[in-house]
Amino acid sequence: MPTPRQAALSMLNQVLNEGRLLSESAALRALEGLDGASKARAMRLANETLRNLERADKILKPHLRKAPAPYVMNLLRLSTIELAHGGDAHGVVNEAVTLVSRHKKYGAMKGLVNAVLRKVAAEAPEKVKILRAPRLPKWLRGPLAQAYSAEIVGAMEAAHLAGAPLDLSVKSDPETWAQKLGGTLTPFGSVRLADAGQVTALEGFEAGDWWVQDTAAALPAKLLNARSGETVLDMCCAPGGKTMQLANTGATVTALDASEARFARVTENLARTHLKAKVLCEDALTHEGTYDAVLLDAPCSATGTLRRHPDLPHAKTGDDFGALIELQAQMLAHASTLVKSGGRLVFCTCSLLPDEGEVQIEDFLETHPEFTADTSVLAHDGINPEWITEEGGLRLRPDYFSEIGGMDGFYIAVLNRA
């Protein structure tokens, strides 16, 4: 049976050496054989190492004549960050030596691993405190630096380093659930838990009283303001958070997603929460029908979710930006044909890049005069008027609400059809 550290190392190798995301099934197989608490610990170790990769390398550099093989380097990085954050030196070093000694190819490196980590154990807790927040990779930092000031980019990098608390969307009575779970309410009304532990063990999970959803991710469906009796389409719906929000209003919801693997999660989540929606596994670009309201959470770079997915900047390269931007434009144009006269369309992306948000809506409004941006609905609890953009959308950033744990980066626009 693997240990949490062993599983974390396996996931790091897949992200950093193979370019896989932690959410991919191949990476998740590293968790097989672990109980719920051990899985949570392994994920935490992997995520913390990815967030602090630059710091780990700076701490290790004086102790390495040259970088060892990727497997050994990732083991050193994992161990260094655990030591820097107060991990038991004896346990961390001993297990690292054990793991490398068992490796057929790198067993002879156990002496190096032992010597380096014993030195790191003595200095890492203090040294990590004076190192800057890790910078994003150039492929991502470049576009962000073009869109935002250096100060804002730095604030977002600090938010990514801080990580993310756990946010929940509840079916009813969020104040009571915050008290039950020892959490607080975000300005957008989500229940926020600073240290949730094993999610499936929390009260209300099995009964389906809530689901995990970042507070920013919950805002598009809230701004859509679906009502009982309305017909609503949720395009690109997986994993189903927004579908459940919409279904919880009493609206008649149709949920689409083209990925069979992701679609299975939507069905599972609806079943657990006892909410109803018509679920269709099909291409959103070929779907036909008319609806009172359409929510399009378009495929995007996901650059707004780095505080929760620190693997993303290491597993991606930005090569798909152009294709994603084109796909978003196509989906937005098609979504507009599915909205009834007098209906509304919400477009959103979990991206920090204006080309995937502000620019998309600016271009859309120029070519679709039957639609107008509705800024009146943005007078919502928690929304700072300064976040409303020139074309009438809403820009959310990870450094907003930083004093309580931040939020995902999102762009949202509410569009009304004449």
Provide the 8-state DSSP code for 115.
H
Residues 286 and 346: their CA atoms lie apart, in Å, by 19
**Residue 302 has which token pair?**
């996901």
Residues 101 and 53: their CA atoms lie apart, in Å, by 23
**Residue 107 has which token pair?**
């067993």
Q: CB-based contacts of 232: which residues, under 8 Å, 6+ apart?
A: 224, 226, 246, 251, 252, 253, 254, 291, 292, 293, 294, 295
Dihedral sign for Cα atoms in the order 137, 399, 166, 218 = negative
In three-state secondary structure terms, 53 is helix
Residues 300 and 239: their CA atoms lie apart, in Å, by 15
| Active-site residue, selected from the candidate residues 236, 237, 300, 350 | 350
Query: Shortest CA distance to 212 belongs to which of 308, 124, 102, 314?
Result: 308
**Residue 300 annotated to the active site:** no
Q: CB-based contacts of 154: which residues, under 8 Å, 6+ apart?
A: 133
Beta bridge partners of 348: 297, 412
In three-state secondary structure terms, 382 is coil
Per the rule left: phi > 0, alpha: psi between -120 and 50, beta: everything else, 313 is alpha
**Residue 149 has which token pair?**
């000031």
**Residue 135 has which token pair?**
């910078």
Residues 101 and 109: their CA atoms lie apart, in Å, by 7
In 10 A of CB 215, how many CB atoms? 28
**Residue 41 has which token pair?**
């610990």
> Cis ω on the peptide bond leading into residue 143 (within 30° of 0)?
no
Give catalytic residues, as residue numbers. 350
